[in-house]
Structure 1
């Protein structure tokens, strides 16, 4: 059964559209289970009705023409109750509904399983037989497993189908959920970019000159043929005859005119050479991968390799620079900093990455540059949306394709309100960050690039609560030297002097792996990351600390912060290394002082040992992003569970308060540098808890200051007490919304997508 399951899913994945996928599902399941009927009903998102969409064994003329409500028939019961129904005499069940003309009256056995994707019932999968019997446990388990496996495939196929429909139907629209990477709203046209030599990432694009595309394809094919001949000759004496024969296989595939003719045909039909090659080779690869014979399955790898080689030549042969429209929304499978750098800044209004997280390097860059971005839009059929109208909702993480006039008008209004609001807040830049009754709340900034500096200072930042030192490491192809690091850190310290700059020691691992220092783990967020890496590699840690200390000479505005601390031993070891580096530099004649050293509280263990940690260091700083993730066991970069990530969760709020109490009990200041610090509503609670400093992205500085200057500190304790007594994040959110309305700051609550 497992092999059958794998085979069906693979076949469905290879389907060209949703209907083809459904037809494969019903025919293959009926074949594997030996049933006379297999049917798929898909739920219409607007009406909620279950539409008869594909079948094997019933009247095909009624496909798409009949439907059932959620309260109608056995199919409706399966969808409504979200559980299988297994009957030997379906016609005797009180919920049985006779549908004239469909032809199911002769079938007595009925087994239906719901198709559920991300908690939403997408449809119902049904098998039926003439004989009166209950399907056994193995058969029921197989159908349930099949429906669970197919749910995501159908969701993706439906998404792809909605794009295809929109291309051929006036007014058709689609929306795709991702993860908010950088806040704001972007309205523009999609420009799809593909990585070098990735066949499946090539966008579909019409060609203006088919003859030129044909020449490019033939030239690339000749170049690959020459490469294979050269490799064959080079390795002739180094490989056994059997292994050397692989090159003959490659040459035979190249010289086989069948697939090349298919590429030529697509080019002549108007597709550009890269797209034609991608579509033809991908089709052949899927065909071979689905074969049962092991030898032929292996040929899929050979075809993929050759396809990539030809594609690489096609990509490098493009001499004309890419054209970007005035309002470019950059779209790709996995956007990179180099792709971002190719687009003129004045033309780039938004970004969408199918893969990646809100902590990805490109998302950090997007936030620094103020570009609305959505990451992890996994269901977006990005290769099919070149030049399409898009709206990027960086608040909720939605991408709207070919938006309706109503949706367009809503987001145009939100975008204009954002601009007006931002301009209005500029007047607060030089005003103190204090409440109406005089409580001071220092606002610091999170940085990582020199591009952040000017904006941060222009918006009134009073210091740097988090300087991400990993960014210079990410921008290089090797570890930066001590002198390179010193120069980078010095630049930051000078820019903000005499304001304090808190430099976090190298925080890699999790979803931040260096390309030249890969960390491959099954569970990276619970693995080798942060301080664990640098303590295991003291040579990296010592070089970085020495560079920081040297950079601080004559400025004395450096603070050092240790990430991912989970026990006091890690702090003790790190402090010993810092003091060792300091002593060595003093011996070498450097005129420096030992800076304040702090700990990031971002794992639950650190919350419960916050007081012990505070005794050893000069300050604590809460990393609310990771702390929330670990407390709730929710990877906030995973779209499947991102809805469970609630920074207002009572457990999170209790932990945040506990850290403040522990730090203050030891007479140490405590700040917070996660995204929660830049949430205008959350600031009301953080101030009441007693946080001494808030650090955020520069885009949030003036919004947070506006809230602080509009409230009274003596009224916040009551809000905090009420918030700590409720049971859910939604109740906390309601309390904060009411308070924001009461102080006249409702306009700063993040807009909700249409």
Structure 2
């Protein structure tokens, strides 16, 4: 990593949050492992960096120092020898139409916030804290407390979140509360002192279950203090909080109680549930009693509805957000939430709207109130939504049955 320079092409086996400072400098990224919802794919889309994932033997085929061109303009990425010529196409922002459904951004890097705020979007539908913690802080929050660096942790998180909120003010910025998995927390400085080694971190101690746990409560308090300062001290009241991986309504109530205890008035700030678990769909009525809205996390929802490890290259062809089981789950969630309260917002912040052809049509037909996409497809999504809102609906057909009844 130390020899990597800005503008280089990063070729590696895979990436995780520790790689993000290097990824930000890359002209393009190529990994041997991973699918379209792998860490490398998700972060590169947010950063606007071309990336090819699942390129077997890439580290052997591409030699250090060779000039190459990474082409991601089509469905299948390619790497060419040498530096090829390319064309740039421009869009006039004043010709982009308005839409009834909100089109928002998925954003992790605060340094891009002010430039991206010039896009004609309706705010940020998913702001990830993990990018800020990894890039600007680097310490496990409990390690920061142990070293007497709690104020530094709070300041780093506050500054990053405030940049995003200020750039898009007064439009809403939905900030997802921390969702590091144990293996990712272990990679932060001091993380191995506090984190267990789990056989399956994807389904382990993550999201809501961490916040009220006595072993993590002090760390969550730092997070809440940073967000409180953004709202009250900086004056950016456009924050909406998003609770990830909330398994039960009772767990949601515990989190809301903690937010209030740590200085975040849940009567004054909207708190959404990330709908990414089958339980969020099956018990949508009960979750709607607890939370002010929902944001569909299509990556984990697809993984858990279909029983597929989203990082498995072997199962990549089966990981389909357009499978009928996933689509029916999303429809059911929207129907339940709107039946509970027609004003109860339901959006989506997973990767499907950015990567799956025809998914925007389905989402509008299903009645979602907002669609969040990566910056690279924001303009075309706005144009497509505007077209669809003036065309008769075809019912959002085109589902893959995947062998289901």
TM range (shorter): 0.7 to 0.9
1:727-746 to structure 2, matched below 5 A, reads 727-728=401-402
SS in structure 2 of the partner of residue 459 of structure 1: coil
Q: What is the alpha-carbon distance in structure 2 between the residues aligned to residue 530 and residue 394 of structure 1?
A: 35
Q: Give the total of aligned pairs.
A: 376
> More relative contact order in 1 or in 2 (CA 8 Å, sep 6+)?
2
Which structure has the larger Rg over C-alpha atoms? 1
Q: Deviation of residue 601 (structure 1)?
A: 0.4
Q: Deviation of residue 523 (structure 1)?
A: 1.4
Match of 1:427 among 92, 96, 104: 92
Cα deviations by residue, 1:165-193 (Å, 9 ceiling, x for unpaired) = xxxxxxxxxxxxxxxxxxxxxxxxxxxxx
Q: What is the alpha-carbon distance in structure 2 between the residues aligned to residue 523 and residue 602 of structure 1?
A: 17
Q: What is the alpha-carbon distance in structure 1 between the residues aligned to residue 61 and residue 376 of structure 2?
A: 32
Corresponding position of 1:671: 347
Q: What is the alpha-carbon distance in structure 2 between the residues aligned to residue 708 and residue 578 of structure 1?
A: 35
Q: 1:514 to 1:696 in 2, by over 3 A?
A: farther
Q: 1:357 to 1:676 in 2, by over 3 A?
A: closer
SS in structure 2 of the partner of residue 508 of structure 1: coil
Is the 1:334–1:354 contact (alpha carbons within 8 Å) kept by the matching residues of 2?
Answer: yes
Corresponding position of 2:148: none
Q: 1:711 to 1:531 in 2, by over 3 A?
A: same
SS in structure 1 of the partner of residue 105 of structure 2: strand
Q: 1:382 to 1:693 in 2, by over 3 A?
A: same
Q: What is the alpha-carbon distance in structure 2 between the residues aligned to residue 373 and residue 333 of structure 1?
A: 13
Is the 1:441–1:693 contact (alpha carbons within 8 Å) kept by the matching residues of 2?
Answer: yes
Question: Which has the larger share of helix?
Answer: 1
Q: Deviation of residue 621 (structure 1)?
A: 0.8
Corresponding position of 1:448: 108
Q: What is the alpha-carbon distance in structure 2 between the residues aligned to residue 385 and residue 460 of structure 1?
A: 41
Q: Are 1:523 and 2:200 counterparts?
A: yes
Is the 1:374–1:394 contact (alpha carbons within 8 Å) kept by the matching residues of 2?
Answer: no
Q: Deviation of residue 617 (structure 1)?
A: 1.2
SS in structure 2 of the partner of residue 528 of structure 1: coil
Corresponding position of 2:144: none
Is the 1:508–1:514 contact (alpha carbons within 8 Å) kept by the matching residues of 2?
Answer: no
Cα deviations by residue, 1:687-740 (Å, 9 ceiling, x for unpaired) = 111101111111111011121222345622x332x446x7349xxxxxxxxxxx
Match of 2:305 among 631, 639, 659: 631
Q: 1:687 to 1:323 in 2, by over 3 A?
A: closer
Match of 2:256 among 575, 594, 608: 575
Q: Are 1:548 and 2:227 counterparts?
A: yes
Is the 1:368–1:452 contact (alpha carbons within 8 Å) kept by the matching residues of 2?
Answer: no
Is the 2:274–2:295 contact (alpha carbons within 8 Å) kept by the matching residues of 1?
Answer: yes
Is the 2:48–2:375 contact (alpha carbons within 8 Å) kept by the matching residues of 1?
Answer: no
Match of 1:694 among 366, 371, 385: 371
Corresponding position of 1:611: 285
Q: Are 1:477 and 2:138 counterparts?
A: yes
Q: Are 1:650 and 2:339 counterparts?
A: no
Q: Are 1:719 and 2:395 counterparts?
A: yes
Match of 2:46 among 358, 368, 388: 368
Is the 1:680–1:707 contact (alpha carbons within 8 Å) kept by the matching residues of 2?
Answer: no
Is the 1:511–1:524 contact (alpha carbons within 8 Å) kept by the matching residues of 2?
Answer: yes
Instruction: Give runs of ≥4 in structure 1 deviating > 6 Å.
Output: 321-324
1:97-246 to structure 2, matched below 5 A, reads none
Corresponding position of 2:122: 462
Corresponding position of 1:330: 10
SS in structure 2 of the partner of residue 694 of structure 1: strand
Corresponding position of 1:351: 29
Corresponding position of 1:489: 161
Q: Deviation of residue 470 (structure 1)?
A: 1.4
Q: What is the alpha-carbon distance in structure 1 between the residues aligned to residue 220 and residue 74 of structure 2?
A: 37
1:6-45 to structure 2, matched below 5 A, reads none
Corresponding position of 1:601: 275
Q: Deviation of residue 686 (structure 1)?
A: 0.5
Q: What is the alpha-carbon distance in structure 2 between the residues aligned to residue 572 and residue 546 of structure 1?
A: 19
Match of 1:379 among 57, 66, 71: 57
SS in structure 1 of the partner of residue 58 of structure 2: coil
Is the 2:324–2:401 contact (alpha carbons within 8 Å) kept by the matching residues of 1?
Answer: yes
**Unaligned 5+ residue runs, structure 2?**
142-151
Q: What is the alpha-carbon distance in structure 2 between the residues aligned to residue 341 and residue 669 of structure 1?
A: 33
Kindly report the root-mean-square deviation, in angstroms, between the aligned alpha carbons of the 2 structures: 3.2
Is the 1:688–1:713 contact (alpha carbons within 8 Å) kept by the matching residues of 2?
Answer: no
Q: Deviation of residue 369 (structure 1)?
A: 3.2
Q: What is the alpha-carbon distance in structure 1 between the residues aligned to residue 153 and residue 44 of structure 2?
A: 27
Is the 1:433–1:708 contact (alpha carbons within 8 Å) kept by the matching residues of 2?
Answer: no
**Unaligned 5+ residue runs, structure 1?**
1-194, 197-320, 435-439, 587-591, 730-754
Is the 1:366–1:372 contact (alpha carbons within 8 Å) kept by the matching residues of 2?
Answer: yes
Corresponding position of 1:498: 170
Q: Deviation of residue 664 (structure 1)?
A: 0.4
Is the 1:372–1:393 contact (alpha carbons within 8 Å) kept by the matching residues of 2?
Answer: yes
SS in structure 1 of the partner of residue 197 of structure 2: coil
Cα deviations by residue, 1:527-559 (Å, 9 ceiling, x for unpaired) = 112222223212122221222122112332111
Q: What is the alpha-carbon distance in structure 1 between the residues aligned to residue 37 and residue 221 of structure 2?
A: 26
Cα deviations by residue, 1:59-92 (Å, 9 ceiling, x for unpaired) = xxxxxxxxxxxxxxxxxxxxxxxxxxxxxxxxxx
Q: Are 1:662 and 2:323 counterparts?
A: no
Which has the higher mean CA deviation after the structures are superposed, 487-496 or 553-562? Answer: 487-496
Is the 1:556–1:593 contact (alpha carbons within 8 Å) kept by the matching residues of 2?
Answer: no
SS in structure 1 of the partner of residue 272 of structure 2: strand
Q: What is the alpha-carbon distance in structure 2 between the residues aligned to residue 519 and residue 472 of structure 1?
A: 23
Q: What is the alpha-carbon distance in structure 2 between the residues aligned to residue 451 and residue 542 of structure 1?
A: 25
